[in-house]
Chains A and B, each alone.
Chain A
């Protein structure tokens, strides 16, 4: 998918003033956050589970060559095919070739973020195939010709009215009388239409929530059952997964699923958690004749050395965006690429290029909520700070910021001047704001005071207050 992350600022501004989007966004907080918290509180040792998840993923990544080879051998043993894709183009070509060889006309798709990353739908369109998204959220945004705005709830930005309008236009050619319909009607209507697609598809494409080296299996976690209809009914099943999806054993997969279901949708287990291994066996009466897995690099091996390897632990649960105040204000589309929110602000610059995504690492208040809920303890704020540093080193930071920092650095290296000046400034602001306790307007801080008041400082600097505190304590001792 082509990135629009360079348009972050105008897109964010537009999102803030979009009443439909703002209405839809209130539901993210209300739903996911509360449900997750309830289950985490119920779990005996969730912090210990997070530690185990982190240790297990770190161990796997440190021995990824071993586990990839073991996985590949086991897939072959089960009669499946393994394909290695270094780039988005490789993945597109591999999938299009499999479809061509299968003489496919229609392809059903379960949700795959790796597929979004490499633009699988565009490749299938170019190959002249009818491609149908089957996850209800993905189906809605496919009709709307939009990218997903959340990694597990892709149509979370859509209101019921907008979905009614889309169904009216695509299912009834704009002739439907009733303008606003109830949720069960809409779900049933989509069920009926997609059922026909499931039964007639030639190839089914899915993602994978994890790959198990021990057995050469992939796990698929869904609530709708669309993933299972997608891989069980067509003649050919193709799965796309990043190489970081490996876990060593079935027990490790269970650890991961305990973390994933709770962190993502706030469930102990989704309705359907499926372990797929190879194509149909000799005496099976249903299931695909061919099983293909595309192992995707697409920049992941570049993250293997150094700090950003931590990001490869990500299990794509969406908890970081559900708890992010910036995501809650602007939604997912403003981020401009496949992955929104905190994890997207780290991944997009790495996959798309820091020069084309320079606002993303800065669209963060460093409040740390994302890190505190991440099931595999990815230090997202630290990684975003590292990206900011990389921006500075590569001269991508805007001139005003660079000059401002240079001025500040000059003073910071001269503590006496710095202290004298800050004493003067704080004292002055404190005296001026004494009566109201805050400023409505302040020179050079217009961007701050446009949205909120600036609190008046206490009349002494922090350092002075700290010295006073220390000396008082000494007298007491």
Chain B
């Protein structure tokens, strides 16, 4: 296999008329020359970042609700399940932040290490991106990735202070965090969908049929 590697890299270098890989300094200089230092072109909005974030969730056929504290997220979960007639069992991610949630007594709350048995699941997002209304989830023991894909109902808890304007802001934040990148860093924008049958949009293709965001104003 290493022969194939040598030949492929050799052909790239031959095409560029050089015998060795350029140095990091050369590549950085070339990049600065090609892309400049200006901000990339991206969407802009007049409303607040949080308002934009919520509007984009609406556009993506997701739903959202705001609660003052994490404790109150429990009632929000129960209300949502009742409204959707989605039963009274919920599989929560082991994320320690969810320990602060006051779960109503009639809910059966189970800690999930994956999404295999869950009909309704609750995860925690690390951030929200206002630009597109996307939730950012970090896979790991706290928030198993499959919990976001196997259930029919996916509920995501997010602190309002964790909504950033653009993707570049998110990357700047994530680069500082230990353990980044995780195995799977998921941007979720609305529920699962397909238009593969006659270009007709249908929600709930393989992943969740509905996505609900609980925005916590005072996230610990």
A interface list, Cβ under 8 A from B: 24, 27-28, 30-31, 42-46, 48-49, 52, 55-56, 58-59, 62-69, 78, 83-86, 90, 94, 134-137, 140, 153-156, 159-160, 163, 183-184, 186-188, 191, 194-195, 198-199, 215, 217, 223-226, 228-229, 231-233, 243, 248-251, 254-255, 257-258, 265, 268-281, 283-287, 291, 295, 297, 301-302, 304-305, 309
Contacts and interface: CB of A to CB of B under 8 A. Distances in A.
Contact of A187 (B2, B41, B182, B205): B205
A347 B134 CA distance: 34
A183 B144 contact: no
A279 B145 CA distance: 12
Given A135-B196, A304-B12, A250 B188 contact: no
B206 A273 contact: no
Given A27-B199, A286-B145, A59 B187 contact: no
Contact of A286 (B40, B113, B189): B113
The 8 residue pairs across chains A and B that have the minimum distance between CB atoms: A225-B207, A304-B15, A224-B205, A301-B11, A269-B132, A285-B113, A137-B196, A305-B15
A286 B113 CA distance: 7
Contacts of B193: 223-224, 271
A194 B193 CA distance: 15
Contacts of B146: 229, 232-233, 286-287
B185 to A, nearest CB: 4
B196 A63 contact: no
Contacts of A31: 195, 199
Interface stretch (B29-37, B65-73, B74-82, B84-92): B29-37
Contact of A277 (B14, B34, B141, B185): B185
9 contacts: A42-B43, A44-B42, A44-B43, A62-B16, A163-B197, A223-B193, A274-B187, A285-B114, A287-B184
B41 A272 contact: no
Nearest to B9: A65
B41 A229 contact: no
Interface string B18-51: 0001101001001100110000111110000000
Which one of A45, A78, A84, A199 has the highest number of Cβ atoms from chain B below 10 Å of its Cβ? A84
Contacts of A30: 199
Nearest to A141: B196
B35 A56 contact: yes
A52 B143 CA distance: 35
B27 A55 contact: no
A273 B171 CA distance: 14
B165 interface: no
B40 A251 contact: yes
Contact of A228 (B41, B140, B207): B207
Contacts of B2: 84
Contacts of A255: 40
B183 interface: yes
A184 B144 CA distance: 29
B30 A63 contact: yes
B219 to A, nearest CB: 23
A287 B43 CA distance: 34
A255 B166 CA distance: 11
A246 to B, nearest CB: 11
Contacts, number: 265
Nearest to A191: B206
B104 interface: no
Nearest to B17: A305
Contacts of A195: 206
Given A269-B134, A286-B146, A281 B198 contact: no
A79 B35 CA distance: 32
A187 B40 contact: no
B218 interface: no
B5 interface: yes
A153 B184 CA distance: 25
Given A233-B146, A273-B134, A301-B8, A281 B40 contact: no
Contacts of B12: 64-65, 68, 243, 301, 304
A285 B204 CA distance: 25
Contacts of A250: 167, 171, 175
B192 A86 contact: no
A84 B1 contact: yes
B140 A281 contact: yes
B140 A283 contact: yes
A66 B184 contact: no
Nearest to A164: B197
B183 A280 contact: yes
A304 B15 CA distance: 6
B141 A283 contact: yes
B149 to A, nearest CB: 5
Contacts of B183: 276-281, 284, 287, 291
A271 B41 contact: no
Given A78-B181, A251-B171, A275-B186, 12 more contacts: A49-B41, A52-B41, A59-B31, A134-B206, A136-B205, A160-B198, A184-B202, A188-B204, A194-B206, A254-B166, A277-B181, A286-B146
Contacts of A297: 4, 8, 11
A235 to B, nearest CB: 13
B152 to A, nearest CB: 10
A309 B30 CA distance: 18
A279 B181 CA distance: 11
Contacts of B197: 136, 140, 155, 160, 163, 183, 186-187
Interface in B106-121: 113-116
Nearest to B193: A223
A113 to B, nearest CB: 16
Contacts of A226: 205-206
